[in-house]
Amino acid sequence: MSIVLVTLGGTIAMGGVDAGRPGVVTRLTGADLTAAVPGLADLGTSLEVRDVQAVPSASLTYRQVLDVVDVASAAVAGGATGVVVTQGTDTLEETAYLADLVWPHAAPLVFTGAMRNPTLAGPDGPANLLAAVRVAAAAASRDLGTLVVMNDEVHAARWVRKTHSTSTATFASPNAGPVGHVIEGEVRVLTRPERRDPLPRVERDRLDGTRVALYPVTLDDDGLLLGGVADTHHGLVVAGFGVGHVPAGLAPLLGDLAGRMPVLLTSRSGAGSVLRQTYGAVGSETDLQRRGLLNGGLLDPHKGRVLLRMLLAAGLDGTALADAVARFR
Ligand code: ASP
């Protein structure tokens, strides 16, 4: 049994301070992280560490995440049972989802991190890392795609969200619940989401140049900020009210934009789906669909943005793009 551990930084590794400056900074390597985990050495799992980045996760890029997927893929092709990635939690729901969109293997790719840094009482990093390694090594985790393991819960990357800024129980899958748990060290998988075919490989330079904006709609919103968006971006994700609604005055503007680039309608609510056929007012989901917006279904705005950027970078448009969105929403 062999696991590859890829480290990217984040709170889990922020065990240092810079003289004269407040706040913790990334200091710990993968070797430091593993040395801090009681019981890890007793698992009988060989762990190979790759320190790839040492940054707050706010500074990660799609290119870096896809590079990590390549490292993980090579590890699996070389015989690794699974791969664990440690990173900051702030963007973890996006990075894990991005990885899941392209991860082709039966072997698990497991993301984890920490909410309490190593200088605090009760840091959660060691427990999360131990649980993540257990999940990456477990036969039950095969064919689940990319997973997020935090707080002894196993979440599918496609459903998980960061729901609290500081709680160690921040990661949740509001629409589905966790797919499993780690109980007394045993990985118990309770539900197995259907795998989807991975997206085709995208050319990195093309991905870098593909811009997708995310616009959260707010009360009394005049949409002024959206004015030039089609000149600078290739796609737009709208985080609408509730089931996918916007102020009536915004509907024609969004319709015009949908004539110039793909516009994906999602909900800013945090859980639940955009509807398709319930409301009929101007600015409602039926009206916006009639104006050409794509229905994002259960995709939350952040995942919708990841998906749309990847699809556009792969060169999809028109019906092919709409079909692809329908497969993933
Ligand atoms: N700001 C940190 C990061 O995402 C937070 C964390 O790791 O939880 O890198």
Q: What is the mean pLDDT of each run of 10 residues along the chain (329 residues)?
A: 96 88 88 94 93 96 98 98 98 98 98 97 97 98 98 98 98 98 98 94 96 98 96 98 98 98 98 98 98 98 98 97 96
pLDDT of residue 19: 83
What is the per-residue burial (b if ≥16 Cβ within 10 Å, else e) of 94-104?
Answer: bbbbbbbbbbe
Record: fold of 206-328: Rossmann fold (3.40.50)
Instruction: Indicate if ligand 1 lies below 6 Å from the C-beta of 89.
Output: yes
Residues of the chain with CATH 3.40.50.1170: 2-189
Q: Which atom from ligand 1 is nearest to the alpha carbon of 55?
A: 9
Please provide the DSSP assignment of 230-286 as one string.
HHH-SEEEEEEBTTTB--GGGHHHHHHHHHHS-EEEEESSSSS---SSS--STTSHH
Q: Please identify which of the residues 7, 11, 81, 210 carries the catalytic annotation.
A: 11
**In this structure, which residue's CA is closest to atom 4 in ligand 1?**
88
pLDDT of residue 201: 87
263's tokens = 């516009």
Instruction: Phi first, then psi: give them for residue 10, nearest 5 degrees.
Output: 85, 175
Closest of 63, 37, 62 to residue 49, by C-alpha: 37
49's tokens = 């560490």
Residues of the chain with CATH 3.40.50.40: 206-328
Is 11 catalytic? The answer is yes
Instruction: Indicate if ligand 1 lies below 6 Å from the C-beta of 57.
Output: yes
Residues 6+ apart with CB under 8 A from 129: 12, 33, 34, 37, 40, 84, 86, 112
134's tokens = 């257990």
Q: Regarding the domain with residue range 2-189, which homologous superfamily does it belong to in the CATH classification?
A: L-asparaginase, N-terminal domain (3.40.50.1170)
Q: Which atom from ligand 1 is nearest to the alpha carbon of 56?
A: 9
